[in-house]
Structure 1
Amino acid sequence: MITSNGATIIDTRTNTIVHEQLVPEQYILPVLEAARRLDLQFCYYTSEQLYAEKTLYDRHNWYLADVPVRSVQDIVEVYPQPCIKIGAYGDAETLREKRLELERLFADQLYVTQTAAQWLEFLHPEVSKANALKTITRLLDIQPSEVIAFGDNHNDLEMLRFAGLGVAMGNAHEEVKAVADYVTLTNTEDGVADALEKFVFALQP
Structure 2
Amino acid sequence: MKNLIPLKKSNFKILCSDIDGTLLSNQNDVSNFTVSEIARIKNVLRIILVSARMPQSMTYLQERLGLGEEPIICYNGALIMEGENEIFSRTMPLELVEGIYREAKKYNIKLGLYFKTEWYVETDSARVQKETRDTRATPVFRATATTLSDWKVRNVSAHKIMLMGTKESTDQIFPLLVKKFGEQLHLYRSNDTLIEVAPKSVSKLSAIKLLLQPGQSLMEVIAFGDNYNDLEMIQSVGCGVAVKNARAEVKVVADEVSLKNTEDGVAHWIQQNLIF
**Alignment match, 2:42:** none
Which residue, 139, 142, 145 being the options, matches 2:216?
142
Give the whole-Å Cα distance in 1 for the aligned partners of 2:127 and 2:263: 31
Q: 2:179 is matched with which residue?
A: 104
What does residue 79 of structure 2 align with? 8
Q: Give me the CA root mean square deviation.
A: 2.2
1:141 Cα shift?
A: 4.3
Q: Which consecutive aligned stretches of 4+ in structure 1 deviate over 6 angstroms post-superposition?
A: none
Distance 1:97 1:135 in 2: 36
| TM-score normalized by the length of structure 1 | 0.86
- Give the match's secondary structure for 2:231: helix
Verify: 1:28 aligned to 2:102, yes or no. no
Pair 1:38–1:178, CA change in 2 (3 A): farther
Asked whether the equivalents of residues 156 and 176 of structure 1 are also in contact (C-alpha less than 8 Å), the reply is yes
For structure 2, list consecutive stretches of 5 or more residues without a partner in the other structure.
Answer: 1-71
Partner of 1:69: 139
Does the 8 A contact of 2:107 with 2:169 survive in 1?
no
Give the CA deviation at 1:48. 3.0
Q: Are the structure 2 counterparts of residues 92 and 195 from structure 1 closer, same or farther at C-alpha, using a change threshold of 3 Å?
A: farther
Give the secondary structure class of the aligned counterpart of 1:123: strand
Instruction: Report if the CA contact (8 A) 1:116-1:153 is conserved.
Output: no
**Deviation of residue 162 (structure 1)?**
1.6
Question: TM-score scaled by structure 2?
Answer: 0.65
Q: What is the match of residue 6 of structure 2?
A: none
Contact preservation (8 Å) 1:43, 1:51: yes
Shift of 1:191: 0.4
> Alpha carbons of 1:42 and 1:140: their partners in 2 closer, same or farther (altered >3 Å)?
farther
Match of 1:186 among 250, 257, 260: 260
SS of 1:131's equivalent in the other structure is helix
Shift in Å at residue 106 of structure 1? 0.5
| Deviation for aligned residue 1:58 | 7.5
Distance 1:36 1:7, change over 3 A: same
Residue 16 of structure 1 aligns with an amino acid whose one-letter code is N
Q: Aligned to 1:154, which of 207, 219, 228?
A: 228
Q: 2:107 aligns to what?
A: 38
How far apart, in 2, do the equivalents of 1:97 and 1:174 lie? 23
Could you tell me which runs of 5 or more consecutive residues in structure 1 were left unpaired when the two chains were aligned.
none
The one-letter amino acid paired with 2:112 is C
Q: Distance in 2 between matches of 1:158 and 1:143?
A: 15
Q: How does 1:122-133 map to 2 (within 5 A)?
A: 122-133=197-208
Deviation at 1:114, TM superposition (A): 2.2
CA contact (8 A) 2:223 2:237 kept: yes
Match of residue 168, structure 1, among 239, 242, 265: 242
Summarize deviations over 1:121-168 as a string: whole Å, max 9, x none: 11211121111112122x464211111111111111111112111111
Letter in 1 for 2:268: D
Deviations along 1:48-70, one digit per CA (max 9) or x if unpaired, are: 32111204477523134465411
Kept in 1, the 8 Å contact 2:109–2:169? The answer is: no
Per-residue CA deviation, residues 46-94 of structure 1 (Å, 9 max, x unaligned), is 223211120447752313446541112x312101422211111122466
**Paired residue total:** 198
